[in-house]
């Protein structure tokens, strides 16, 4: 049996995604299944692509590049959350997924796809900058928002709007950004060269110092 959403729910969904009018979705994206969760969520996709890298590494790499293309990624660097609310904030695990897929998709170090890693890293820099420029209510450089942790066992729905004048404090958001920075450091050092026969790349060495 299919349940049609009420008019106000559809209108709310439209309003939630009003800042994403640049999106032009005409691609094949992997989703968890065709029954219970037949919709796209970027951070779910990041985890799903790890086993995909064993089966079809080219597909895994293409999916990672796709969700950071200009017709998906916001101009401010934000990566979409999930299709019902693209603006929501999820843990930044795309960089980790790209790094894992990069290492898993080749038998030897010399066979690794550095063009792929370079391509996604440049887009991930935009996303990292978006995160760093998010301002917390008390200006203490803490990061928060949305499903930033164990969303399936939360005491309350952290994606709902808070009453006026109230804020929500979370510890896991800042930990996720630290993890994001560590992965970006690993990628930038890999692209810096100077080992395994690769020439030194001064630009990536300079970027790595920022993390």
Give backbone dihedrals phi and psi of 82, rounded to 5 degrees, phi first.
Answer: -150, 160
| Residue 139 domain flag | yes
Q: Return d(Cα 183, Cα 190) in angstroms, integer.
A: 11
| Residue 128 domain flag | yes
Q: Return d(Cα 67, Cα 73) in angstroms, integer.
A: 7
| Residue 159 domain flag | no
Q: What is the pLDDT of residue 147?
A: 55
Q: Return d(Cα 148, Cα 175) in angstroms, integer.
A: 10
Lowest mean pLDDT among 26-30, 42-46, 154-158: 154-158
Band of pLDDT at residue 164, cut at 50, 70 and 90:
confident
| Residue 113 domain flag | yes
**Longest pairwise C-alpha distance within the chain:** 61
Q: What is the pLDDT of residue 5?
A: 46
Segment 107-140, tens digit of pLDDT: 788 889 999 999 999 999 999 999 988 766 666 6
Q: Return d(Cα 43, Cα 93) in angstroms, integer.
A: 6
Segment 133-147, tens digit of pLDDT: 876 666 666 666 555
Q: What is the pLDDT of residue 136?
A: 66
Range of the domain at 30: 25-150+170-176
Span 66-74, average pLDDT: 96
Q: What is the pLDDT of residue 133?
A: 85
| Residue 52 domain flag | yes
Segment 183-205, tens digit of pLDDT: 999 999 999 987 777 888 899 99
Is the pLDDT higher at 89 or at 42?
A: 42
| Residue 1 domain flag | no
Q: What is the pLDDT of residue 33?
A: 83
Stated pTM of the model: 0.82
92 touches 42 (CB < 8 A): no
Is residue 11 predicted with pLDDT exceeding 50? yes
Q: Return d(Cα 79, Cα 93) in angstroms, integer.
A: 11
| Residue 10 domain flag | no
38 touches 83 (CB < 8 A): no
> First and final CA of the chain: distance in angstroms?
51
Number of domains in the chain: 1
Determine whether 25 is exposed, middle or buried from the number of CB atoms within 10 Å of its CB (0-12, 13-18, 19+).
exposed
Q: What is the pLDDT of residue 175?
A: 83
Could you give the percent of the chain with pLDDT greater than 70? 80
| Residue 57 domain flag | yes
Q: What is the mean pLDDT of the chain?
A: 84
């Amino acid at each position: 049996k299919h349940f049609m959403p009420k008019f106000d729910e559809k209108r709310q969904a439209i309003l939630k995604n009003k800042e994403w009018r640049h999106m032009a979705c005409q691609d094949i994206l992997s989703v968890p299944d065709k029954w219970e969760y037949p919709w796209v969520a970027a951070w779910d996709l990041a985890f799903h692509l790890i086993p995909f890298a064993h089966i079809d590494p080219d597909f895994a790499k293409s999916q990672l590049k796709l969700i950071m293309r200009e017709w998906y990624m916001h101009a401010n660097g934000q990566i979409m959350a999930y299709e019902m609310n693209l603006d929501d904030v999820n843990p930044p695990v795309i960089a980790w997924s790209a790094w894992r897929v990069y290492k898993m998709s080749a038998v030897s170090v010399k066979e690794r796809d550095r063009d792929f890693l370079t391509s996604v890293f440049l887009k991930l820099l935009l996303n990292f900058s978006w995160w760093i420029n998010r301002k917390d209510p008390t200006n203490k450089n803490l990061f928060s928002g949305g499903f930033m942790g164990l969303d399936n066992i939360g005491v309350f729905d952290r994606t709902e709007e808070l009453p006026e004048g109230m804020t929500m404090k979370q510890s896991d958001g800042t930990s996720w950004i630290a993890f994001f920075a560590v992965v970006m450091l690993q990628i930038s050092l890999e692209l810096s060269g100077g080992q395994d026969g690769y020439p030194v790349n001064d630009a990536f060495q300079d970027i790595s110092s920022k993390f």
